[in-house]
Amino acid sequence: MIKVTIWNENRHEQKSQEVRDVYPQGIHGAIASFLKEEEFQVKIATLDEEANGLTDEVLNNTDVLLWWGHIAHEEVSDEIVDKVQQRVLEGMGLIVLHSGHFSKIFKKLMGTSCDLKWREANEKERLWIVDPAHPIAEGLGEYIEIEREEMYGEHFDIPAPDELVMVSWFEGGEVFRSGCTYHRGNGKIFYFRPGHETYPTYYHQGVQQVIKNAINWAKPTNLPRPIYGNAKPLEKISVKN
C-alpha cells in the first residue's frame, strides 16, 4: 500500500472565505477525499505544523509526497527543503501541483527559475494528452477540459521534461507543458499544472484520475541508493610507467 503524504500550505483556506467555500476541508482535504477511495494510505501535512509538517518521521514514512503551495513558499524552512530533496534522491516520489511550480523544493530540484506567464480570467483550459502510452494517462480520453482555471503560459522555465505527457490550450491564446515527468536520483517527480485555489479543479474527475495515476507512477523503485565515492577496481589494471 503506497504511503501518500499531502502537503498543503493551507493559508488561502485560512484567509479567504472564497477559498473555504470551494474547499471547506482545505485543498488537502479535497485531495485526501478522492485518494482515500483508492489503495493509498493517506496522511496530511501543513506548513504551520512542527517542522512545517515534515518531520523526519513523516518524510521517512512517505512513498509519494504531494505539494501544494502558493503565498508562503518563503516560509518553508531551507532545512526542510534540503531534507525533502534528499528523500527524493533516495527514492521518494514528488508530485508538484499548480502554484507549487514556485516552491523552494521544485526550484531546487529543477535548477531553473520555474517562472511562467499567468492570468486569472475564468478561462477555459484543455489539457491534451501528447503521450498516450504513458501510465499517467491511464483511463483518460484525448483531453481533459476544465471550464475555468487560472492560465499558465509558456515559456515555462523548466528543464525539458524527461517525458511530456500533457500540453494545455488556453482560451486566451497560450499553451503550456502541463504534465511533466522527471527522474532525480532514485526518485520520480511529476509536475501537474491545474489547481488554482478559487476553482473547483480538484473535484474534476479527470484531474483526480491524473493525480491517482501519478502516485502509482511515482512510487519508489525498490533499489538501494547507489554507492558513491572512492571505489576499488573491479578488474585488474595494467601497470604503466
Q: How far apart are CA 35 and CA 30, in angstroms?
A: 9
- The neighbouring-strand residues paired with 6 are 44, 66
Nearest to 209 by CA among 127, 124, 122: 127
For the bound state, the minimum distance from the C-beta of residue 177 to its own copies, rounded and expressed in Å, comes to 7
Q: Which is nearer to its own copies, 3 or 134 (CB)?
A: 134
φ and ψ at 225, to 5 degrees?
-55, 135
Q: Are 104 and 81 in contact (CB under 8 A)?
A: yes
Q: Which is nearer to its own copies, 205 or 221 (CB)?
A: 221
For the bound state, the minimum distance from the C-beta of residue 212 to its own copies, rounded and expressed in Å, comes to 13
Q: Which is nearer to its own copies, 25 or 112 (CB)?
A: 112
- The neighbouring-strand residues paired with 167 are 128, 177
For the bound state, the minimum distance from the C-beta of residue 46 to its own copies, rounded and expressed in Å, comes to 25
Q: Which is nearer to its own copies, 72 or 89 (CB)?
A: 89
Q: Which residue has the cell 483556506?
A: 13
Q: How far apart are CA 228 and CA 107, in angstroms?
A: 25
Q: Are 25 and 36 in contact (CB under 8 A)?
A: no
For the bound state, the minimum distance from the C-beta of residue 238 to its own copies, rounded and expressed in Å, comes to 7
For the bound state, the minimum distance from the C-beta of residue 141 to its own copies, rounded and expressed in Å, comes to 7
Q: Which residue has the cell 488554482?
A: 196
For the bound state, the minimum distance from the C-beta of residue 20 to its own copies, rounded and expressed in Å, comes to 21
Q: How far apart are CA 189 and CA 23, in angstroms?
A: 26
Q: Which is nearer to its own copies, 41 or 216 (CB)?
A: 216
Q: Which is nearer to its own copies, 26 or 100 (CB)?
A: 100
Q: Which is nearer to its own copies, 49 or 131 (CB)?
A: 131
Q: How far apart are CA 163 and CA 188, in angstroms?
A: 11
What element of type H or E holds 168? Answer: strand 163-170
For the bound state, the minimum distance from the C-beta of residue 28 to its own copies, rounded and expressed in Å, comes to 25
